[in-house]
Amino acid sequence: MAASEGSSYHKNYYFKNVISLSLSLPLYACMNVDEKSAEEKAIDDWLPITSSRTAKWWYSAFHNVTAIVGAGVLGLPYAMSQLGWGPGIAILVISWIITLYSLWQMVEMHEMVPGKRFDRYHELGQHAFGEKLGLWIVVPQQLLVEVGVDIVYMVTGGQSLQQFHNLVCKDCKDIKLSYFIMIFASVHFVLSQLPSFNSISGVSLAAAIMSLSYSTIAWGASVEKGIQPDVQYGYRSNTGAGPVFDFFSALGTIAFAYGGHNVVMEIQATMPSTPDKPSKGPMWKGVIVAYIGVAVCYIPVALIGYWMFGNEVDENILISLDKPTWLIAMANMLVVVHLIGSYQIYAMPVFDMIETVLVKRLRFKPTWYLRFISRNIYVAFTMFIAITFPFFNGLLSFFGGFGFAPTTYFLPCIIWLAICKPRRFSLSWFANWICITFGLLLMIVGPIGGLRQIIVHAKTYHFYV
């Protein structure tokens, strides 16, 4: 009896321990998951894109204006002189419609999976194409655009500072463009230390105001100057192949002008979101305001600038304008302020990628000096490339066609077809395939024209002189 009681006791003790252990295993697993998620949350709170989600709808408005309306608007009259009246107006309007449509798709797809936000462009691509393939499709193109834009803005910022210097001090000694690019870059060694997207809101707001201001000055001063004597609206080039390559180059320039989609997901990631009030509402409201601003800037500058100067318009419309001196000098400084904000808008996703790799892959500690070193290296790199290849319009065309056309015109449409799967031959299906075809055309021909211009300029250019 005692033996059976002892045996029963040991059996009960054994089963209690097994049950206790089995019940505790999920608890231990949850604790490990919680610890891991807490570590990831701490990293997300440090990374620049996800560290703050307090933005309002007007943040979307001025961030998008700053991202879209940039150096490209100054090259639109020159692009018109390469295209002519009919094709030029048509491509301007078609690009406005297509890019607004593809941007709407990106805003809608930001939270299309319940309980998940695609905070970065490549995360959306990974959802559509798979973890590895999506990364390889999106990241190289996104980096090409964002780094390319920052290089172009380095060149444009230096040119605008040089033009300001030449206007206000006509008897002063000439200073090389390289030095002005370095002056422009020096600002970014400081501003690049701002930690997150929301921390550059003030800079971005100032940049958006400046873009509207200098665009108004550009077309207003063109009207004041009037139609130039013996103005001509034919082809700029007289050689057989010249008009064709000019046409290609102009398509790349216009693609560059409308490119802002590379930072759309990242901008929307800074907004709060709940099931009742998803972020797409305020984001889309800001986008509409921004695109009205884009039309107000682009159409008058492109058409009036070409109307007044014809084929003699410079690659940068402000270079064609020299009077009134004080107004054009001020416009150039407004451009500089705007480009400072635009550079930061495009640099922030690059910083996020660099810091994600350093912290998550290479296991560096998220410290201020890691951020200080990595971001300063990036600014120095873009400055060096800008000093080496300061070809404004050629760079616009090359990066516009090769980088902006895919990420702006047709990659959002391909992702939409892959995820949403609209019915074949429906309106959505047709609209997306039209955008894809137009975007592919821009991607193929734009870089050809831009590369030719760079080669032509390089023949007579002396590096670092």
Task: List the structure tokens of 105.
Answer: 């798709």
* Span of 79-93, 107-121, 188-202, 390-404 with lowest mean pLDDT: 390-404
- What is the residue whose two structure tokens read 């690059």? 350
Using the predicted structure, report yes or no on whether residue 27 has a pLDDT greater than 80: no
The domain segmentation of the chain, as residue ranges, is: 49-459
Tens digit of each residue's pLDDT (9 = 90 or more) over 383-428: 998 888 776 556 666 666 677 788 888 899 999 999 999 999 899 9
Q: Residue 12: exposed, middle, or buried by beta-carbon count in 10 A (0-12, 13-18, 19+)?
A: exposed
If one counts every other C-beta atom within 10 angstroms of the C-beta of residue 420, the result is: 14
Contact between 111 and 278 (Cβ < 8 Å): yes
pLDDT at 462: 60
Among 21-25, 57-61, 232-236, 239-243, name the most confident range.
Answer: 57-61
Under 8 Å between Cβ of 256 and 404: yes
pLDDT, residue 275, reads: 84
Averaged pLDDT, 167-187: 89
| Fold observed for domain 49-459 | Amino acid/polyamine transporter I (1.20.1740)
Q: Distance (Å, rounded) from C-alpha 19 to C-alpha 75?
A: 74
CA 367 to CA 90: how far, in whole Å? 50
pTM tops 0.75, yes or no: yes
Per-residue pLDDT band for 230 (boundaries 50, 70, 90) equals confident
